[in-house]
Amino acid sequence: MLKRMFGWTGVEVPVIGQGTWMIEGKPEAERRAVAALRAGLDLGMTHIDTAEMYGSGRAEELVAEAIAGRREEVFLAGKVLPGHASFDGTVKACQASLERLRTGWFDLYMLHWPGRHPIEETMRAIEKLVSGGLVRFAGVSNFDVPELSEAEAALTNSRMASDQVLYHLGDRGIERRLLPYCAQREIAVVAYSPFGHDGFPSPRSAGGRVLAEIAQRHGRTPRQVVLNFLTRHPGVFTIPKTAHLERVKENAGGVGWNLAPEDLAAIGRAFPAPDRDTPLGML
């Protein structure tokens, strides 16, 4: 699995990791999800992203099963809910998540989205967690440039490591302001839901046909083309979620090869980026 430097941190992280939103469910579905995460680890997709919100902690418990005995391999990312993100609440939420995950630390810990608690409190708490060895790097999620800049300013002993945001072919708004800002500041961008929440573009649609043609030329699948396109910028990582082993293998093949300039142009025509600033997308 292709790795690249995660912002300024000096740590190399797989370009394609694994998301865990909605992996909880019936016992058989959970068994498949754990097996898929383990298969992803075997393929080098060792960046696993989770959150206390996912299944009210159940996703974290499933991640604990998947990474048991392999924690040192994993770049583990977690998130605190905005409603819990007071100073004390952030510390307690992190500790509770680590208990469910059966580990002693997060590699990355984020505020899930901007909320009612002052950002200074939340960032101060994350810095305390960093100084205490429970967190390696501070991050945020669903922050546009103004909120991200404010969060950066609230840090006194750390630097912002990453911003996790919605980014897929149907929502390329981050390319206008957020992506250049993060590149300048050496902040990693982690794209969630790279295929969109409503599913992959239909093969029968004009865009779907474009992706299929490009995929055929490269001996790849349309989904692999999408992942390759979204991570073409050296500061972008992505965390597709799947509970299906065949999809795990497919996702892993999304990098390690290059789209041609004419491919990039064709995708840009089929799925154009906005020509003006747009609100940050969020699921």
Does 92 map to a domain?
Answer: yes
How many domains, the chain? 1
What's the CATH number where 237 sits?
3.20.20.100
What is the structure's pLDDT at 92?
98
Residue owning tokens 């590699």: 107
Q: What span, in angstroms and rounded, lies between the C-alpha atoms of 9 and 186? A: 9
E strands, the chain, where?
A: 3-5, 12-14, 47-49, 75-80, 106-111, 135-141, 160-166, 188-192, 236-238
Does 271 map to a domain?
Answer: no
Beta carbons of 12 and 40 less than 8 angstroms apart: no
122-131 pLDDT tens trace: 999 999 999 9
218-256 pLDDT tens trace: 999 999 999 999 999 999 999 999 999 999 999 999 999
pTM, entire model = 0.96
Range of the domain at 136: 3-200+233-258
What is the structure's pLDDT at 110?
98
Does 207 map to a domain?
Answer: no
Does 208 map to a domain?
Answer: no
Three-state helix/strand/coil letters over the chain? CCEEECCCCCCEEECECECCCCCCCCHHHHHHHHHHHHHHHHCCCCEEECCCCHHHHHHHHHHHHHHCCCHHHCEEEEEECHHHCCHHHHHHHHHHHHHHHCCCCEEEEEECCCCCCCHHHHHHHHHHHHHCCCEEEEEEECCCHHHHHHHHHHCCCCCEEEEEEECECCECHHHCCHHHHHHHHCCEEEEECCCCCCCCCCCCCHHHHHHHHHHHHHCCCHHHHHHHHHCCCCCEEECCCCCCHHHHHHHHCCCCCCCCHHHHHHHHHHCCCCCCCCCCCCC
What is the structure's pLDDT at 259?
98
Does 139 map to a domain?
Answer: yes
Q: What span, in angstroms and rounded, lies between the C-alpha atoms of 106 and 129? A: 9
16-49 pLDDT tens trace: 999 999 999 999 999 999 999 999 999 999 999 9
What is the structure's pLDDT at 197?
73
Q: What are the angstrom distances between the C-alpha of 255 and each of 138, 156, 227?
A: 26, 36, 7
φ, ψ at 163 (rounded to 5°): -135, 120
Does 282 map to a domain?
Answer: no
Q: What span, in angstroms and rounded, lies between the C-alpha atoms of 62 and 25? A: 11
Of 161, 207, 211, nearest to 186 by C-alpha is 161
Residues of the chain under the 70 pLDDT cut: 198-199
- 274: how many CB neighbours lie within 10 A of its CB? 11
The b/e string for 152-161 (b: 16+ C-beta within 10 A; e otherwise) is bebbeebebb
Does 15 map to a domain?
Answer: yes
Does 276 map to a domain?
Answer: no
What is the structure's pLDDT at 204?
80
Q: What does DSSP assign to residue 7?
A: T
| 121, two tokens | 């409190």
φ, ψ at 54 (rounded to 5°): -65, 110
What is the structure's pLDDT at 273?
96
